[in-house]
């Protein structure tokens, strides 16, 4: 994959290939390790270790800022935070922070994380095929709110490009890496969530911030 990197980048940037065709041509890229490695080839920064260390480092401060949010979004955030405090599972805590981040920025976490029941196979398949870019999380019937999904994956252009990931937070990190690897744009409905992850958590191109990202950065600085 190192030797074919330049060829692959040229194809991605110049030709904007269909994801189904690109996955068939470069199947090795769509593995957890290779997504992370490709991201590092592009940015020179590690993906998974940086993402999780920064998310965990800032989680408490982020939640402290988020819980000061008022209105409907504030109430939804408080429900997430309350559920999080009742769980010792680090992956569920990470997922809750990511969901709360979406809500805080007036974006809908359901546009990012599409949840399905194991029993609804046909409906799940149809909805996944209609997903442009996102994460699916399949949960067991009757599972408690803070229980890990039985399957988590990444969908791009209706194609499941990664599956059996184990957690939403890992799926988010790999989706972020694939956006870089495939030269994709952030989904318009989630652009602030991805911007904050890119610029505030991963410190990539961090000088040019939107008003929302700058406001959050200022509040985080106050909480230091």
| pLDDT tens digits along 134-154 | 999 988 876 666 678 889 999
Residue 32 has pLDDT above 90, yes or no: yes
CA pair distance 78, 41, nearest whole angstrom:
39
Please report the pLDDT score of residue 124 as a whole number. Answer: 75
CA distance 136 to 153: 5
Per residue in 184-202, pLDDT tens? 999 999 999 999 999 999 9
pLDDT, tens only, 158-172: 999 999 998 999 999
CA 91/CA 95 separation, integer angstroms: 6
Q: What is the pLDDT of residue 21?
A: 96
**pTM (two decimals):** 0.93
CA 40 vs CA 2, 17, 176, 214, 223: distances in Å: 11, 21, 12, 26, 31
The pLDDT value given to residue 144: 65
pLDDT-based confidence at residue 123 (cuts at 50, 70, 90): low
Q: How far apart are the first and last CA of the chain?
A: 41
pLDDT at residue 39, as a whole number:
97
CA geometry: angle 28, 185, 106, nearest 5 deg: 120
Q: Is 119 helix (H, G, I), strand (E, B) or coil?
A: coil
Least-confidence region, from 67-71, 84-88, 100-104, 180-184: 84-88
């Amino acid at each position: 994959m190192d030797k074919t990197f330049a060829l692959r980048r040229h194809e991605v940037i110049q030709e904007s290939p269909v994801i189904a065709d690109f996955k068939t041509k470069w199947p090795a890229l769509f593995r957890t390790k290779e997504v992370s490695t490709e991201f590092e080839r592009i940015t020179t920064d590690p993906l998974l270790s940086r993402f999780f260390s920064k998310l965990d480092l800032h989680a408490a401060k982020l939640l402290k800022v988020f819980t000061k949010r008022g209105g409907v979004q504030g109430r939804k955030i408080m429900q997430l935070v309350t559920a999080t405090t009742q769980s010792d599972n680090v992956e569920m805590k990470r997922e809750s922070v990511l969901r709360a981040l979406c809500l805080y920025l007036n974006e809908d976490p359901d546009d990012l994380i599409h949840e399905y029941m194991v029993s609804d196979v046909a409906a799940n398949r149809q909805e996944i095929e209609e997903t442009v870019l996102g994460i699916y999380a399949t949960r067991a019937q009757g599972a408690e709110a803070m229980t890990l999904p039985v399957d988590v994956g990444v969908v791009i252009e209706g194609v499941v490009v990664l599956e059996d990931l184990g957690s939403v937070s890992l799926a988010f990190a790999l989706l972020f890496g694939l956006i870089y690897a495939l030269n994709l744009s952030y989904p318009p409905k989630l652009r602030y969530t991805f911007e904050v992850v890119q610029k505030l958590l991963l410190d990539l191109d961090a000088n040019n911030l939107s008003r929302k990202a700058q406001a959050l950065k200022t509040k985080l600085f106050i909480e230091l």
